[in-house]
């Protein structure tokens, strides 16, 4: 008798998550929850795994257990960004996939919210009101007719583009392949970054942190942007040079940075820290990397990860595979 494929889940998804997993698998594979296994059973479960579903193998597997996954057909992560996970600890040759675009819709709403707060001067005028200053005739701006540039046009970028178009913006974007089925006004590849920066009234950063994207936006790139542009970073702080951005904000008070993704954060680094006092600047709007943190995202992200697992179980190539170029 041939045993069913096994998905080893390295975290406890709770009762609601277990129900989602059972529904998504539909009996085509058995789900094994590693936290439920006794010490003596963990090794056998990992060796038998067809697929591993994990938030972070470095935290959810014990020392030496990653080597037991040599026979797995996929290690599927729950997060879209896997730059903080030591993938080199996994056996070579085992495919690894991120959960690309899993939390795209709430993140796109967050990008729009931050952009509107910036262009409508909401925080600036709220602060002025607390001082008794009533700037009724100080001009704010509209998004309609302006250009949103999206750097990294995957699931998050596409969801953001739809919202920005809905408020009347033109959308320019960059992805590695220079192809998309989404409706855009302009699409380029990374070698055309300067064109994107020059055109953008709003620049939304939504690409992964890799060796090639680290420090991608520095002094010269910021200088190519419009003096009153809005930069929204939903991705990773390290894509933008921290010192360069702070200096640019100080020198260009009409420029606004909306920072959801910071350089040193608790999940990746164990602590929140900035090396420059960004939050003292009036042209900065900050949030604690919570753009995807809505109640609906937990179930949606889990379903999207499981859909990729199902592709493997059905003999298809999984999406969002992490290649050498995608690693930090």
- Could you report the per-residue pLDDT of 144-187, keeping only the tens digit for each? 999 999 999 999 999 999 999 999 999 999 999 999 999 999 99
Q: Which of 152, 239, 159, 149 is nearest to 196 (CA)?
A: 149
Order of strands, edge to edge, in the sheet holding 230-233? Answer: 186-188, 170-174, 147-151, 202-205, 230-233, 256-259, 284-286
Q: How confident is the model at residue 251 (pLDDT cuts 50, 70, 90)?
A: very high
pLDDT at 271 over 70: yes
Q: Assign 325 a pLDDT band (cuts: 50, 70, 90).
A: confident
Can you list the alpha helix ranges (DSSP code H) found in 96-217? 104-119, 122-130, 155-166, 193-199
CA dist., res. 220 & res. 177, Å (int): 24
In the chain the domains, ranked by start, together with CATH numbers, are: 6-101+296-326 (3.40.50.720), 104-286 (3.40.50.720)
């Amino acid at each position: 008798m041939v045993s069913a494929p096994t998905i080893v889940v390295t975290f406890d998804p709770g009762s609601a998550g277990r129900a989602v997993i059972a529904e998504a698998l539909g009996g085509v594979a058995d789900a094994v929850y590693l936290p439920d296994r006794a010490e003596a059973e963990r090794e056998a479960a990992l060796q038998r795994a067809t697929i591993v579903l994990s938030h972070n193998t470095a935290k959810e597997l014990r020392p030496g257990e990653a080597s037991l996954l040599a026979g797995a057909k996929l290690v599927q992560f729950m997060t879209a960004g896997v730059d903080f996970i030591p993938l080199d600890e996994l056996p070579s040759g085992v495919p690894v996939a991120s959960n690309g675009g899993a939390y795209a819709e709430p993140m796109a709403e967050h990008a729009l919210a931050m952009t509107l707060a910036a262009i409508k001067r909401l925080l600036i005028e709220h602060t002025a009101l607390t001082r008794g200053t009533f700037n009724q005739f100080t001009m704010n701006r509209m998004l309609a007719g302006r250009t949103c540039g999206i750097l990294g046009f995957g699931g998050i970028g596409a969801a953001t583009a739809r919202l920005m178009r809905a408020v009347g913006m033109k959308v320019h974007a960059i992805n590695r392949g220079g192809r998309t089925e989404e409706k855009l006004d302009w699409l380029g590849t990374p070698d055309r970054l300067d064109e994107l920066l020059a055109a953008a009234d709003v620049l939304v950063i939504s690409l992964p942190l890799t060796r090639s994207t680290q420090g991608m936006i520095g002094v010269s790139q910021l200088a190519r942007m419009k003096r009153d542009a809005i930069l929204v970073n939903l991705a990773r702080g390290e894509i933008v040079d921290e010192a360069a951005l702070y200096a640019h904000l100080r020198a260009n008070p009409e420029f606004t940075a909306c920072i959801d993704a910071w350089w040193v954060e608790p999940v990746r680094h164990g602590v929140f820290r900035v090396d420059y006092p960004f939050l003292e600047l009036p042209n900065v709007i900050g949030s604690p990397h919570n753009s995807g943190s809505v109640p609906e995202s937990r179930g949606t992200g889990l379903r999207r990860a499981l859909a990729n697992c199902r592709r493997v179980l059905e003999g298809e190539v999984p999406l969002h595979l992490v290649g050498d170029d995608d690693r930090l």
